[in-house]
Amino acid sequence: MFYHLFKYLDEVSKIDLPLGGLYQYLSFRAGVAVIISLIISLVFGGKIIRFLNKLQVGETVRDLGLAGQKEKEGTPTMGGIIIIMAILIPTLLIADLNNIYIILMLLATTWMGIIGFIDDYIKVFRKNKEGLSGKFKILGQVGLGLIIGVAMLASDDVVVQMDEQVAVDSGYTIVKTFENEAGTTAWVKTTLTNVPFVKGKEFDYANLLSFLGDNSDKLVWLVFVPFVIFVVTAVSNAANLTDGLDGLATGVSAIIAATLGILAYVSGNIIAADYLNILYLPAAGELIVFSAALLGACIGFLWYNSHPAQIFMGDTGSLTLGGIIAALAILIRKEFLIPILCGVFVAETLSVMIQVSYFKYTKRKYGEGRRVLLMSPLHHHYQKKGMFETKIVVRFWIVGILLAVLTLITLKLR
């Protein structure tokens, strides 16, 4: 909103406002987005907590024999509302709302927020501990993945810049061409993405259909869209599994948000993208504003969610954060970095899969189920071993920071 207002005053009305020209700088708008997001979280967070307490929207904790578990009984949930507010409001105020990437991220945030809210509403107000049926959650996640995948394939604003001759030789659809000192460059529609650890290596999903010849580009949606759906569903559910200790999912998500913001900036900056030998994505730099709002929202929520938590994010927050992270990584074409950057989420998910699979296998073979871990997800295993909750959370944060640094190193480690 303010972005368009300042732009109008500068370009149309010719009104020279003090500091008005700063709106064009991404770094300035990202900084403002963080500040506004933090203020919203801190100011409205307390009010929302008091409101939820009045409604007696408290968490019902199932006794799992974990230390400090009973103290969490009655803590208000659905705190993801705070996170969503702190993301949407700064983005609507500061970002370019005509930018396709921002539009898709606003949609992703709202879409997953609604799904998570419905799930929490059923649990809290309908007193149904199962919440929204799993198939409806999956259906919602599939829907978001479908929208993002189709939009990336169909929109002429989601493009990659490359040499025109390379684009012609590769058979890509050219949207625009530009003349410069180095020759002619083109904006092209393609399913190219970056591959980590390999210098100058880019992967095109159409290559998976190369046996179809010239039809591979036309039918690339057969592999690209399902893959996008898989990533959105997997990361969203992984974030949901990680949300089990005070501040765990929130802190890890903040680290991931900061890293994705850096990746969005270098991907949308032609000089940085050329230097790092990664795909240059025109207009994708605007996503740093959204990432900044996401970072501020997570840090602001952590003010209330740190141990002992005054509020839990619930599925309203965890499903939303997972969906946002997946969508953001896909849009900046860094989805192959998700296993590294979201390593904590991956470990938590694998711990559940391994535990359940091994239990079922041993039950069939020996007549009784056996466990690899004392309890899953992984953070509960360490709780069962007697480790303090705060120590587990901080150590997971440290691992998240190490993984974030490794993710950024992959830009040059090739």
Question: For residue 369, what are its two tokens?
Answer: 């189920």
Span 219-237, average pLDDT = 95
| More confident of the two residues 166 and 356 | 356
Q: Which domain holds residue 376?
A: 2-409
pLDDT of residue 131: 82
Least confident of 91-100, 191-200, 399-408: 191-200
- Burial of residue 178 (CB within 10 Å: 0-12, 13-18, 19+) is exposed
Q: Do 255 and 397 meet the contact criterion of CB atoms below 8 Å apart?
A: yes
pLDDT digits (tens, 9 = 90+) for 328-387: 999 999 999 999 999 999 999 999 999 999 999 999 988 888 999 999 999 999 999 999
Residue 414 maps to a domain: no
| pLDDT > 80? residue 389 | yes
| pLDDT > 90? residue 168 | no
Span 60-78, average pLDDT = 70
Residue 6 maps to a domain: yes
Question: For residue 317, what are its two tokens?
Answer: 């927050």
Span 29-56, average pLDDT = 91
Span 92-103, average pLDDT = 95
Residue 209 maps to a domain: yes
Residue 64 maps to a domain: yes
The answer to whether the pTM exceeds 0.85 is yes
Residue 60 maps to a domain: yes
Confidence band for 61, pLDDT divided at 50, 70 and 90 = low
Give which of 101, 104, 95, 411 is closest to 263, Cα–Cα.
Answer: 411
pLDDT digits (tens, 9 = 90+) for 116-164: 999 999 988 887 878 888 899 999 999 999 999 999 999 999 999 988 8
The number of distinct structural domains making up the chain is 1
Tell me the C-alpha distance between 316 and 114, whole Å.
7
| pLDDT > 90? residue 239 | yes
